[in-house]
């Protein structure tokens, strides 16, 4: 078999991966060369120029190295003989049928024989024993050779009835002829002039080619001209890592890692990637980041290989694998936390906020009374409700990390606190008016059934409220209007209460008089006549007089209830010629005390 090669050579772009791109791809699938009998014309448009003319030589006779003589079966044969090697020739004819030998045509493909019955020994002119027939062979050849191009390439690919070959394509002919043998084979590329022999297509361009060919044997039987089409593809794909929805290279555990690959010829066989020092792996449909990786930044290396093993240069992109879900927190205005329970008021504004370590928060979903799995957009209140409820919520980031569902127990406190005022010390009430003295303390105490008291405050009417801490006293004598209220831990505010207070800082004013005028004075002591009576009284312009008591000299103190109590003429309490000292004590209704002593003498 005679062969020659057409070699399409180009440089394969290598990548430093331990295996180059070609080797990596070849480990996936060994591609057998496609034979010419399975080739289909390419779909791409080729030049439709007419093939160069095949100039056919006339049929001929050929003798090979073994002295076998081949004659084109279409040729006429004229038989002649000579009695000497170089002597005169004489026609050999058939007398019975001269039309069959003038000329003679061989009837059998392959060997035909001119024969005599028995062989004669040239020396003895006798039969040669053992007897043998003389056969002179003449080989008839009417059949054209068989020639087929063989496309040898490490990679070939058929797509849409188009055959693609890679950078290492070599074409050789398989030739065979049954009789005289193949004299030559010819080829034409894209309708160029016919050529024979080898050709090297160094730096050939990626293009579609039409390969035409024929062959001729040694007696000039010609094959029909045949053509096959193919695409020589030496260009590598171009791969681009697609950004995620938010326009970044931040990926989540379930975020598809997608590549845009441009490949205009044989098509993409596979895209390979690796993260940091991992092994290269083939990108699959729905490819996501390997589950074994931790959250963090990585170098993503990738490249693509087409179906005829053209591999592009390695591309490296910095990416971030975000495996951490957002963290959501719940806040409420006018709220109070007690363990796992959060107290709010019906007007409290409940808001949710989330933070994310990398990709960013996509949305927060929450469920509460009357709301189910709603996207949080603005704060909300739990109006027109009192009692226990809850809010459940969680956030997701833009790469699909979902926070575990959180639950917050909530108590909606719609009740206002209640405050009462108490007196520590003396006080007296008359017609909702309260009289106190300057030592009387005011104590405020509050109760709240749910969230508890935050603080209590009080103020003089017309003044600003101030926080209540401990029992307090009033300082301004006379009327004092006091307002007070309490606020609970969710800012439910009690309606203000008020109380009318009167601060009585002075005891009653003692009033006394004698029934007679003094008649003298001894050492500064007034002297009254016998039978003089002493009358006692007291006045109080605030709370009013409560009691009057008196003590004459060292005698027992006596409560004064009427003027008769100290009527000297009846009681004969005052004896003539004696000096008397009367100590008078009076109290008002809030226990303010006034004491006064009277010293006088009865005439003797």
The full 3-state SS of 66-88, as one line of letters, equals CCCEEEECCCCECCEEECCCCCC
Q: Are 78 and 106 in contact (CB under 8 A)?
A: no
Per-residue model confidence (pLDDT) at position 3: 37
The answer to whether residues 422 and 456 touch, using CB atoms and an 8 Å cutoff, is no
Least confident of 191-195, 392-396, 481-485, 491-495: 191-195
pLDDT tens-digit series, residues 186-201: 999 889 899 987 666 6
Query: Mean pLDDT: which of 5-14, 172-181, 563-572 is highest?
Result: 172-181
Please state, for a pLDDT cut of 90, what percent of the chain lies above it.
63
Q: What is the pLDDT of residues 257-315, one digit of tens each?
A: 999 999 989 999 999 999 877 889 999 988 888 888 899 999 999 999 999 999 999 99
Check: CB of residue 414 under 8 Å from CB of residue 485.
Answer: no
Residue with more model confidence, 12 or 231: 231
pLDDT of the residue at 7: 37
Neighbouring CB atoms inside 10 A of 57's CB total 10
Distance from the first to the final alpha carbon of the chain: 182
What's the confidence (pLDDT) of residue 527? 93
Task: Report residue 65's pLDDT band, with 50, 70 and 90 as the boundaries.
Answer: very high
Per-residue pLDDT at 176 exceeds 80: yes
Of residues 292 and 36, the one with the higher pLDDT is: 292
Q: What is the pLDDT of residue 312?
A: 94
Q: Which pLDDT belongs to residue 203?
A: 62
Which pLDDT band holds residue 435 (cuts at 50, 70, 90)? very high
pLDDT-based confidence at 33, cuts 50/70/90? very low
Closest CA to 204 of 241, 233, 161, 224: 233
Q: Which of 46-55, 160-169, 312-321 has the highest mean pLDDT?
A: 312-321
User: What's the 3-state SS for 278-345?
Assistant: CCCEECCCCCCCCCCCCCEEEEEEEEEEECCCCECCCEEEEEEECCCCCEEEEEECCEEEECCEEEEC
Q: Cβ(382)–Cβ(350) under 8 Å?
A: yes
pLDDT 10s digits, 235-255: 999 999 999 888 899 999 998
Per DSSP, the residues of 490-540 read T--BPPPEEEEEEE--S-PEEEEEESS---EEETTEEEE-TT--EEEEEE-
516 has a pLDDT exceeding 60: yes
Average pLDDT over residues 12-35: 35
- Beta 207-217 vs 226-232: how paired, if at all? antiparallel
pLDDT surpasses 70 at 34: no
- Which segment, 26-40, 247-261, 352-366, is predicted with the most confidence on average? 352-366
- How sure is the predictor about 369, in pLDDT bands with cuts at 50, 70 and 90? very high
CA-based angle 141:143:144, to the nearest 5?
A: 120
DSSP letter (8 states) at residue 488:
E
- When comparing pLDDT for 464 and 52, which is higher? 464
Predicted structure pTM score = 0.61
pLDDT of residue 563: 52
**Mean pLDDT in residue range 390-413:** 96
Give the mean model confidence (pLDDT) for residues 350-377.
96
What is the pLDDT, as a whole number, of residue 10?
Answer: 29
Across the range 494-501, mean pLDDT stands at 96
Mean pLDDT of 303-332: 95
Percent of the chain with pLDDT over 70: 89
Secondary-structure breakdown of the chain: helix, strand, coil percentages, each rounded to the nearest 5: 5, 45, 50
Tens digits of residue pLDDT in 443-462: 999 999 999 999 999 999 98
- Give the CA radius of gyration of the chain: 66
Closest CA to 161 of 270, 74, 298, 34: 34
Nearest to 442 by CA among 430, 425, 467: 425
């Amino acid at each position: 078999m005679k062969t020659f090669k057409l070699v399409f050579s180009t440089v394969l772009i290598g990548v430093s991966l331990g295996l180059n791109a070609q080797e990596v791809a070849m480990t996936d699938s060994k591609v057998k060369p496609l034979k010419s009998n399975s080739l289909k014309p390419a779909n791409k448009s080729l030049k439709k120029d007419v093939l160069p003319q095949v100039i056919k030589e006339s049929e001929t006779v050929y003798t090979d190295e073994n002295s076998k003589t081949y004659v084109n079966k279409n040729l006429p044969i004229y038989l002649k003989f000579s009695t000497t090697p170089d002597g005169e020739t004489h026609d050999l004819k058939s007398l019975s049928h001269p039309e069959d030998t003038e000329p003679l045509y061989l009837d059998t493909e392959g060997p035909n024989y001119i024969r005599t019955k028995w062989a004669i020994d040239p020396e003895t002119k006798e039969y040669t024993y053992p007897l043998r027939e003389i056969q002179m062979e003449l080989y008839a050849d009417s059949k054209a050779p068989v020639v087929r191009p063989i496309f040898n390439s490490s990679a070939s690919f058929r797509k849409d009835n188009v055959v693609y070959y890679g950078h290492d394509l070599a074409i050789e002919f398989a030739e065979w002829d049954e009789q005289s043998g193949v004299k030559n084979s010819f080829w034409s590329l894209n309708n160029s002039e016919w050529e024979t022999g080898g050709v090297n297509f160094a730096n050939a361009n990626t293009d579609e080619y039409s390969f035409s060919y024929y062959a001729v044997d040694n007696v000039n039987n010609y094959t029909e001209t045949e053509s096959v089409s193919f695409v020589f593809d030496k260009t590598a794909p171009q791969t681009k890592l697609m950004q995620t929805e938010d326009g970044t290279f931040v990926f989540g555990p379930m975020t598809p890692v997608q590549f845009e690959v441009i490949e205009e010829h044989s098509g993409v066989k596979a895209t390979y990637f690796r993260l940091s020092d991992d092994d290269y792996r083939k990108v699959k449909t729905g490819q996501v980041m390997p589950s074994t990786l931790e959250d963090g930044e990585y170098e993503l290396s990738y490249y693509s290989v087409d179906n005829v093993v053209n591999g592009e240069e390695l591309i490296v992109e910095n990416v971030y694998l975000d495996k951490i879900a957002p963290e959501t927190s719940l806040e409420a205005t006018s709220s109070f936390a007690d363990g796992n329970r959060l107290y709010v008021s019906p007007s409290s504004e409940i808001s949710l906020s989330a933070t994310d370590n990398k990709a960013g928060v996509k949305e927060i979903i929450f469920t509460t009374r009357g709301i189910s799995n709603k996207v949080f957009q603005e704060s909300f209140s739990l109006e027109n409700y009192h009692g226990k409820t809850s809010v459940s919520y969680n956030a997701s980031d833009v790469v699909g990390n979902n926070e575990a569902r959180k639950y917050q127990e909530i108590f909606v406190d719609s009740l206002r606190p209640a405050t009462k005022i108490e007196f520590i010390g003396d006080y007296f009430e008359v017609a909702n008016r309260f009289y106190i003295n300057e030592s009387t303390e005011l104590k405020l105490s509050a109760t709240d059934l749910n969230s508890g008291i935050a603080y209590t405050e009080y103020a003089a009417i017309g003044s600003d409220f101030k926080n209540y801490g401990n029992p307090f006293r009033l300082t301004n004598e006379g009327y004092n209007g006091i307002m007070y209220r309490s606020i609970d831990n969710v800012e439910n505010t009690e309606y203000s209460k008020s109380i009318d207070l009167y601060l009585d800082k002075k005891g009653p004013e003692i009033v006394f008089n004698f029934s007679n005028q003094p008649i003298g004075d001894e050492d500064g002591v007034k002297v009254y006549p016998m039978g003089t009576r002493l009358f006692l009284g007291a006045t109080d312009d605030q709370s009013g007089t409560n009691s009057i008591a008196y003590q004459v000299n060292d005698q027992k103190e006596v409560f004064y209830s009427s003027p008769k109590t100290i009527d000297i003429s009846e009681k004969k309490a005052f004896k003539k010629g004696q000096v008397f000292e009367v100590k008078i004590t009076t109290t008002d209704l809030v226990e303010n005390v006034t004491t006064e002593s009277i010293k006088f003498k009865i005439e003797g």
